[in-house]
Amino acid sequence: MSVKKSLDTILQKIDDAVLHCGRESGSVKLLAVSKRKPLEMLQEAYSAGQRLFGENRVQEAELKVPQMPDDAIFHMIGHLQSNKVNKACQFFSCIQSVDSLKLAKKIDNRCKSLDKIMDIYLEINISDDPNKTGYRVDETLLSDIEEILELNSVRVKGLMAIGAHVEDRAEIKNSFQRLQKLNDDLKERFQAYIGTELSMGMSGDYIEAIESGSTMVRVGSAIFGSRE
Ligand SMILES: *Cc1c(COP(=O)(O)O)cnc(C)c1O
């Protein structure tokens, strides 16, 4: 299937799911995860109207972003190493994978000198999976977020998580609902926390994520094909 066809199909499915659970049309954005896919496929998606793209490696973004039109927006969704922060701040409009105070401070510092405010999401390890990155839901998260909210050159828009890696659909949905609940708790606890964005749901589970309040689904293989 062509990229355009797949995109149309996914957008239709997102819209159906949004309406099916009584949410407002257009309340879920699609981040097209283009990691390890050639530039031509991103351009094809762009021609079909897609503007939001997700990449997980700084080196790859460095090659792709300058070759895409200015209004293509790139979000970083992969683990970000300290030594890549400078370039990440240059090529990405949003960093969804912030998982430490140290990283947030580095981004803040860099953006200060670039005279730019970076949108960030805190990545949460919602299933407490030892193989996954992201914050555990614990005291460190609470004390870090308090400090991160005081930084002037980053804006914490919300949370990002990968759903439980299991077969059981109910358990997957459960993990998304835990993220939604955490977001509500954080909004209640911290005045400065905006928390308007919940980035959750991938090719295999975006319907469950939408049913659980996702505002952005990150879909790769269902649009661009499998990545080998
Ligand atoms: C690769 C990736 C995705 C997209 O995964 P698909 O299953 O191909 O849709 C979404 N989120 C993150 C963090 C990823 O690394």
| pLDDT per residue of the chain (228 residues) written in tens, 0 to 9 | 899 999 999 999 999 999 999 999 999 999 999 999 999 999 999 999 999 999 999 999 999 999 999 999 999 999 999 999 999 999 999 999 999 999 999 999 999 999 999 999 999 999 999 989 999 999 999 999 999 999 999 999 999 999 999 999 999 999 999 999 999 999 999 999 999 999 999 999 999 999 999 999 999 999 999 997
Q: 228 CA distance to ligand 1 centroid (A)?
A: 13
Q: 66 CA distance to ligand 1 centroid (A)?
A: 22
Q: 190 CA distance to ligand 1 centroid (A)?
A: 29
Q: 110 CA distance to ligand 1 centroid (A)?
A: 27
What is the position in ligand 1's atom list of the atom closest to the CA of 31?
A: 10
The C-alpha atoms of residue 176 and residue 156 are separated, in whole angstroms, by 19
What residue type is assigned to position 68 of the chain? Answer: M
What local confidence, expressed as pLDDT, does residue 79 receive?
97
What local confidence, expressed as pLDDT, does residue 228 receive?
75
Ligand 1 contact, 77 CB (< 6 A): yes
Shortest-distance Cα residue to atom 14 of ligand 1: 77
What local confidence, expressed as pLDDT, does residue 1 receive?
83
Can you tell me which residue has the tokens 């828009």? 157
Tokens at 163, concatenated? 């759903």
Shortest-distance Cα residue to atom 11 of ligand 1: 218
Question: Quick one: 60 exposed, middle or buried, by C-beta within 10 A (0-12, 13-18, 19+)?
Answer: middle
CA distances in angstroms from 217 to 12, 117, 133, listed in the order given = 13, 23, 18
Query: Mutate which of 6, 10, 31, 33 to test ligand 1's pocket (most atoms within 8 Å of Cβ)?
Result: 33
Cα torsion 38, 222, 217, 26 to 10°: value is: 100
What local confidence, expressed as pLDDT, does residue 67 receive?
98
The C-alpha atoms of residue 35 and residue 117 are separated, in whole angstroms, by 24
Ligand 1 contact, 112 CB (< 6 A): no
Q: 54 CA distance to ligand 1 centroid (A)?
A: 9
What local confidence, expressed as pLDDT, does residue 135 receive?
98
CB of 163 closer than 8 Å to CB of 200: yes
Tokens at 90, concatenated? 């240059």
What local confidence, expressed as pLDDT, does residue 223 receive?
98
Q: Count CB atoms within 10 A of the CB of residue 143.
A: 11
